[in-house]
Chain A
Amino acid sequence: MRLFIEAVKGLGVTMKHFFLNMFYHILRFFHLSHKKGETVTTQYPEEKRETFTRVRLRHRLLSRDDGRLRCVACYMCATACPAQCIYIEAEEDPRNPLEKKPKQFIINLGRCAYCGFCVEACPEDALRMDVHVPEISEYKKEDLLYDIDKLTHW
Chain B
Amino acid sequence: MEWVIAVAVKVIVIFTWALLTVLYITLLERKESAVIQDRIGANRASILGLRLNGFFQPYADALKMFFKEDYTPPFVDKPFYYLAPLVSIVFALIPVGAVPVADSIGLFGRKFPLSVIGSNVGVVLILSLLSLAVYGVIFGGYGSRNKYGVLGGMRGTAQAISYEVAIGLSLVGVLMVFPSLDLNEIVHLQNRYILGGWVPLWGIFLQPLAAVLFLIAGMAENKRVPFDIPEGESEIIGYFLEYSGMKFGMFFVADFVEILLLAALFTTFFLGGYNLPWLFTEGFHFPWGGSLAMSPIIVRIVQFVTFNIKLWIMIWFLLLVRWTYPRYRFDQLMDLGWKSLVPLSIFNILITAAVMVVIR
Contacts and interface: CB of A to CB of B under 8 A. Distances in A.
Chain A at the B interface: SS class: helix
Interface in B229-249: none
Question: Which size class do B's interface residues fall under?
Answer: 10 to 19
Nearest to B336: A3
Nearest to A22: B35
B20 interface: no
A21 B38 contact: yes
B35 A25 contact: yes
A137 interface: no
A17 B35 CA distance: 7
Interface stretch (A6-14, A81-89, A121-129): A6-14
Interface in A98-131: none
Contacts of B38: 17, 21, 37-41
Interface string B305-337: 000000000000000110111000000000000
Contacts, number: 37
B39 A7 contact: no
A38 to B, nearest CB: 5
B321 to A, nearest CB: 7
A27 interface: no
A43 to B, nearest CB: 7
Contacts of B182: none
Contacts of A43: 40
Nearest to A38: B38
Interface in B24-57: 32, 35-40
A44 to B, nearest CB: 11
Contacts of A37: 38
A18 interface: yes
Which among B32, B37, B323 has the greatest number of chain A C-beta atoms within 10 A?
B37
Contacts of B320: 11, 14-15, 18
B321 A11 contact: yes
Contacts of B40: 39, 41, 43
Contacts of A17: 35-38
Interface of A: 7, 10-11, 13-15, 17-18, 21-22, 25, 37-41, 43
Given A39-B40, A41-B40, A43-B40, A18 B321 contact: no
Nearest to A10: B324
A7 B35 contact: no
B324 A14 contact: yes
A37 B40 CA distance: 11
A10 B36 CA distance: 12
Contacts of B32: 18
30 contacts: A7-B325, A10-B325, A11-B320, A11-B324, A14-B36, A14-B320, A14-B324, A15-B320, A17-B35, A17-B36, A17-B38, A18-B32, A18-B35, A18-B36, A18-B320, A21-B35, A21-B36, A21-B38, A22-B35, A25-B35, A37-B38, A38-B38, A39-B35, A39-B38, A39-B39, A39-B40, A41-B38, A41-B39, A41-B40, A43-B40
A41 B320 CA distance: 21
Question: Which 5 residue pairs of A and B lie closest in terms of their CB atoms, listed nearest first?
Answer: A41-B40, A14-B324, A38-B38, A21-B35, A14-B36
Contacts of A11: 320-321, 324
Given A14-B324, A39-B38, 7 more contacts: A11-B321, A11-B324, A14-B36, A14-B323, A21-B36, A39-B40, A43-B40
A28 to B, nearest CB: 11
A16 B321 CA distance: 13
A25 B53 CA distance: 11
A146 B37 CA distance: 41
Contacts of B324: 10-11, 13-14
B36 to A, nearest CB: 5
A39 B32 CA distance: 13
A11 B32 CA distance: 14
Contacts of B39: 39-41
Interface in B211-266: none
A135 B37 CA distance: 28
Contacts of A38: 38
Nearest to B43: A43
A149 B249 CA distance: 52
B318 to A, nearest CB: 12
A10 B226 CA distance: 13
Nearest to B44: A43
A38 B37 CA distance: 9
A21 to B, nearest CB: 5
A33 B346 CA distance: 52
Contacts of B35: 17-18, 21-22, 25, 39
